[in-house]
Amino acid sequence: MGREAQAPRRGRRGLANFRVAPRFRVARGRWRMPRAKTSVVAAVARAARGVLIASGGELAACIGAGLEGIARVVGAASIVVVRAGQPPLVRWPDGGAAGADDARLLDGLQGADADWIDSVEGGPGPCLVVPFTEQADRRGAIVLHFAPSAPRPPREVDDALELFGDLIGQALIREASVRTLGERERRYRTLADAAFEAIVIHRDRRIVDVNESACDLFGYARDQLLGTAVPGRYVAPDFVELVEGYIAAGYEGSYELDLLRSDGERIPVVARGRMVDRGERPTRVVALRDVRAERENAAQLFEVGERMRALLETAFEGFVVSRRGFVLDANEGFARMCGYTLPEVIGMTPGDVTTEEGARTILQNILAKVHEPYVVTGVRKDGSQFPMEIQGSECFYRGELVRITGFRDLTETVRKQEEQRRLEERMRQAQKLESLGMLAGGVAHDFNNLLVSVLGNADLALQDMDRDAPLAARLRHIRSAAVRASELTGQMLSYAGESRFEPQDVRLDRVASEMAELMRSSLAAGVRLELEAPPPESRVYGDATQIGQVVLNLLTNASEALGAAG
């Protein structure tokens, strides 16, 4: 205890320079203080000066350096700064011996005064415990360990160390506050930079902070934006007066404007400002949202809507939007189909454009949510009726559930179907005639073969008898009848289209008369054939059979055109 300790000399940011001070000396078990008070106060003052100017991570080092100087002055073997629920803040010497559990000493402290403990379990000797308050619910202490035979230091040492303990507690509170503020600032900066909207903070019309989105929006680095004036070069000239008026009025609503990027590009944005400080130096926070994509999407949607409207308006079919059976909207095709103007069809019901039966069918299908097409009878404005096909489906239109229905006029479809039916009927008739012709041709061939035998035998019999014989006249009648029968078979072959082309002078009156007689048997009951034959001298050069076929086709087509009624 009689040796003197040399305190380390520190710079301006640590302990102040001080001269060598003697330790307290022990005489007959009591402390004597030759210049002791002055030395302790000076050591504490130097330590306090280092703690006050400490910043960031320097606090623990400055506390350790100050306690080292105090320990050398008061003769402590080691010093530990402990906190409840925390590891030791400072231990001197570094890694030196101390009590078994210095933190447990806090449990036995009473009040805020220093306490001398003669012996500590597991410790080298007595200790002086100087408590301090770090927070309302957390305490700490400066624990000075002494040699086993060391007496208690004077009360002046307690007072000086209690002041230093209070200083440590305040420094720890300050460091925690700075750390909390730093954490909040980092969290704010992270949130601000992660925001999709650009954020600009300005005071006295000078930018004091921006986030990363604002830098990307304006095309400048953060350092290039800070300190510059607003609206300045960042707002399009035709919007400067508007922005200045909103800033002067402290307007906190939304408004639209165009910004100017660093490359001169105009960017449409939606801005919303808010005053966060109503004092002498108000601060304004402005959020800017780039609406280029929104405007492009809106333009595309508008274009699509206009294109769909044009398609619907020019469509031949009708489209109707209805709710509870009443027309909310329609296209020109529906109005034109029913003979109305577009304003006239708004508000109509199914009963206005269909028959009563058709209206009941439509309402039943609306209630049943039928999506398959069906046909009803439509009624135009002039009272004329027409077949109308309907198909509907439910969907949302302007925020409410409606039914979209398509209407199609089937008049042309029905006409084409009827024409197709007639063509098919004519085809069947042609097939029948063809079959009949084939039958007639076969019969004619067989009959003609029989006639050949009759004519041959008649000619042979006439050659074997005299011309004036009684039987000769009868044979000549038989031959004449056979010749007429042969001509009839020729007509039948002409009807069947199997005769050969043999051009000659043909009397039209004879051909017309023969075909008329042949056709009378196949005419409908209500059809009457009247023949006005040309004069006998009317002749043409051609094949009689082919000419007869032409006349036969004309008579057949005329008969079919007249129908069964004649």
Q: Read out DSSP for 353-371?
A: TB-HHHHHHHHHHHHHT--
Token pair for residue 443? 């019969």
What contacts 98, CB < 8 A, 6 or more positions away? 78, 80, 91, 123, 143, 145
Task: Outline where 151-199 has alpha helix (H).
Answer: 155-194
Separation CA 18–CA 70 (nearest Å): 12
User: Rounded to whole angstroms, what are the CA distances from 408 to 79, 315, 317, 367, 389?
Assistant: 101, 10, 5, 21, 5
Task: Say if CB 518 and CB 551 are below 8 A apart.
Answer: no
Task: Say if CB 41 and CB 73 are below 8 A apart.
Answer: no
Greatest mean pLDDT among 36-50, 109-123, 260-274 lies in: 260-274
Q: How many CB atoms lie within 10 A of CB 268?
A: 15
Angle between helix axes 155-194 and 36-52 (nearest 10 degrees) is 0
pLDDT-above-70 percentage for the chain: 80
What is the identity of the amino acid at 207? Answer: I
Q: For strands 283-290 and 198-203, give the pairing.
A: antiparallel
Q: For strands 115-117 and 318-323, give the pairing.
A: unpaired
- What confidence tier does 472 reach under pLDDT thresholds 50, 70, 90? confident
Q: What is the mean pLDDT of residues 45-50?
A: 78
Token pair for residue 384? 């004329």
The strand pairing partners of 543, in sequence order, are 503
| Phi (first) and psi of residue 380, to 5 degrees | -80, 175
Q: What is the mean pLDDT of residues 173-188?
A: 75
Whether the predicted pLDDT of 212 surpasses 70: yes
- What confidence tier does 377 reach under pLDDT thresholds 50, 70, 90? very high
Please give the pLDDT value at position 26: 36
Q: What is the mean pLDDT of residues 88-101?
A: 64
Token pair for residue 194? 């992660």
Token pair for residue 159? 């007072």
Residue bearing tokens 């050398």: 72
Please give the pLDDT value at position 374: 92
User: Rounded to whole angstroms, what are the CA distances from 167 to 14, 38, 140, 280, 492?
Assistant: 15, 19, 12, 35, 140
Please give the pLDDT value at position 476: 80
Whether the predicted pLDDT of 313 surpasses 70: no
Please give the pLDDT value at position 305: 63
Q: How far apart are the first and last CA of the chain?
A: 153
Q: Looking at per-residue confidence, does 65 or 28 come out higher? A: 65
Task: Say if CB 102 and CB 86 are below 8 A apart.
Answer: no
pLDDT in tens, 522-556: 677 777 888 887 787 778 888 776 777 788 788 88
Q: How many CB atoms lie within 10 A of CB 150?
A: 21
Please give the pLDDT value at position 269: 92
Strand boundaries in 420-564, DSSP class E: 503-507, 539-543
Please give the pLDDT value at position 197: 83
Q: How many CB atoms lie within 10 A of CB 28?
A: 5
Task: Say if CB 455 and CB 481 are below 8 A apart.
Answer: no
Please give the DSSP secondary-structure letter assigned to residue 309. H
Whether the predicted pLDDT of 520 surpasses 80: no
Q: What is the mean pLDDT of residues 246-254?
A: 87
Residue bearing tokens 């934006």: 225
Please give the pLDDT value at position 22: 35
Angle at 346 between CA 301 and CA 372, to 5 degrees: 75
What is the identity of the amino acid at 138? Answer: R
Q: What is the mean pLDDT of residues 425-454?
A: 80
How many helices (DSSP H) and strands (DSSP E) are in the chain? 14, 19
Please give the pLDDT value at position 384: 92
Separation CA 303–CA 265 (nearest Å): 25
pLDDT in tens, 398-433: 778 888 888 988 888 888 988 999 998 888 888 887
Task: Say if CB 132 and CB 139 are below 8 A apart.
Answer: yes
Q: What is the mean pLDDT of the chain?
A: 78
Q: For strands 283-290 and 266-275, give the pairing.
A: antiparallel
Please give the pLDDT value at position 259: 92
Residue bearing tokens 């921006």: 210
- pTM here? 0.38
Whether the predicted pLDDT of 309 surpasses 50: yes
Nearest to 250 by CA among 277, 230, 213: 277
pLDDT in tens, 326-350: 888 888 888 888 999 988 988 998 8
Token pair for residue 146? 């002494």
